[in-house]
Amino acid sequence: MTADVTGDIAPGSWNPKRDRAKMVQIIVKIIFGAFAAISIFTTIGILGTLIFETIAFFQEVSIIRFLTETRWTPLFASKQFGIFVLISATVMIAVISVLVALPLGLLSAVCLSEYATPRVRKILKPILEILAGVPTVVYGYFALLTVTPFLQTFLPNLQGFNALSAGLVLGVMITPLVASLSEDALYSVPRSLKDGAYALGATKRETVVSVILPAAVSGIVSSLILAISRAVGETMIVTLAAGANPTLGFNPFVPVMTMTAFIVQITAGDAPHGTTAYKTLFAVGMTLFLMTFALNIFSFWFVRRFREKYD
C-alpha cells in the first residue's frame, strides 16, 4: 500500500467530512463568542450612556452644586441639584430595610440550617423562594395600601407616603436573599467545628452563636452587602410607597424621594432628549450605579478576603 500523502483514510465506506465539521465548529464558536461578548457590550453601553450624559449634565450644572446644594428641584424655575437630598432618602430606606432583613434573614437561616427538620425545611424553603419572586410592584401595593394604613392605626403622625413602610416592606423583600445566602454560608461550616464545640460542653445556642456564626461571617456579611445593594437599587416599592417629595433628612414618617423614584418620575413623564431634566436622569443614574457597583465589588472582595479555608 502506497503512502497516502493527503492523510485521508483509505477509500471505503467512511466519509467523515471532517473539514465541514471543523468549519461548522469554527462558525458556531465565533457566533457564540459574540453572544458572550454581548454582556461586555451591555456594560460598555451602560457606562457609555451614563458617562456621556453625566458629562453633558456637569457642563450645565457644576459638580460643586450637585454635591453641596440642599434642595432637589430640577423641574422648578429655580433649579437646585443637591443629590444628597435623594441619597439621604435612599440611604434611610436602605437602612430601615436592613434593620428588618438582617435579623429576619439571619435567624431564618439559622432556623433552616440548625433547627428545622428536613421535612419542615422542604416546606419553608419554597415559601422563602415565593417571597423572593413576588414582583416589586406587588410589594409596592402592599406597602402603600396595606402596611401604611396598618401602621397609621398606632402611628397617627405617619403620612400616607413615608419612608418607614417602604423600608419595612423592602426589608421583607430582601430577607429571602439574606436568608438563602447566609444559609449557604452556615451550611458550609464543617461538621467537625460543631462537634468540637459540643465536645467542650457547649449548648446548641452557644455552638451556633460562638462558633458557627463567626465561622460563616464572610458569607453572611457578603450576603448582607448584596442585600443592601439590592435595596439601594430597588425602584417600585419606594416609588409607590415613599412618595416623590425630595426632602433632605432622615425622618421616616414623611414623604421622601429616592434616586430611583426620581428616575421613574422623570421617565414616566416625557423628558425630551437634550433637556436638563433628561441629563439629570443620567447623573442620578450614574450616582446610583456607582453606589451599587461599589457595594457589589465590596461584597465579592469581602468574601474572598475573609473566607476561612477549611480543607
Closest contact distance (angstroms) between CB of 49 and other proteins is: 4
User: Stretches 27-35, 68-76, 78-86, 151-159: which one binds other proteins (CB under 8 A)?
Assistant: 27-35
For residue 305, the minimal CB distance to other proteins (Å) is 14
Site for other proteins in 77-96 (CB under 8 A): none
Q: How far is the CB of 2 from other proteins (least distance, A)?
A: 24
227-256 residues near other proteins, rule: CB under 8 A: 229, 232-236, 239-240
Does 12 interact with other proteins (rule: CB under 8 A)? Answer: no
Candidate segments 33-41, 70-78, 81-89, 91-99, binder of other proteins by CB under 8 A: 33-41
Rg of the chain taking only CA atoms, in angstroms: 27
**Residues 196 to 215 in contact with other proteins, rule: CB under 8 A:** 196-206, 208-211, 214-215
Toward other proteins, which CB reaches closer, 32 or 250? 32
3-state SS record for the chain? CCCCCCCCCCCCCCCCCHHHHHHHHHHHHHHHHHHHHHHHHHHHHHHHHHHHHHHHHHHHCCHHHHHHCCCECCCCCCCCECHHHHHHHHHHHHHHHHHHHHHHHHHHHHHHHHHCCHHHHHHHHHHHHHHHHCCHHHHHHHHHHHHHHHHHCCCCCCCCCCHHHHHHHHHHHHHHHHHHHHHHHHHCCCHHHHHHHHHCCCCHHHHHHHHHHHHCHHHHHHHHHHHHHHHHHCCHHHHHHCCCCCCCCCCCCCCCCCHHHHHHHHHHCCCCCCCHHHHHHHHHHHHHHHHHHHHHHHHHHHHHHHCCCCC
Q: Does 68 participate in binding other proteins (rule CB under 8 A)?
A: no
Burial of 172 (C-beta count, 10 Å sphere; 0-12/13-18/19+): buried
CB atoms within 10 A of CB 152: 15
Site for other proteins in 255-284 (CB under 8 A): 260, 263-264, 267-268, 270, 273, 281-282
301 touches other proteins (CB under 8 A): no
Residues 137-166 that bind other proteins (CB under 8 A): 137-142, 144-146
Measure Cα distances from 59 to 49, 54, 78, 79, 291 in Å: 16, 9, 18, 15, 22
Does 174 engage in binding with other proteins (CB under 8 A)?
no
Q: Which is nearer to other proteins, 21 or 55 (CB)?
A: 21
- 135 makes contact with other proteins (CB under 8 A): yes
Looking at the Cβ atoms of 60 and 308, the one nearer to other proteins is 308
Stretch of residues binding other proteins (CB under 8 A), selected from 66-74, 75-83, 130-138, 247-255: 130-138
Identify the residue among 7, 11, 12, 133 touching other proteins (CB under 8 A). 133
- Is residue 304 involved in binding other proteins (CB under 8 A)? no
Would you count residue 124 as binding other proteins (CB under 8 A)? yes
Q: How many chain residues interact with other proteins (CB under 8 A)? A: 109
- Residue 187 Cβ vs other proteins, minimum distance, rounded to whole Å: 15
Beta carbon nearer to other proteins, 250 or 300: 300
- CA 203 → CA 115, 160, 207, 210, 245, distances in Å? 13, 47, 6, 10, 51
Min dist CB 215 to other proteins, Å, is 5
Q: Binding to other proteins by residue 128, rule CB under 8 A?
A: yes
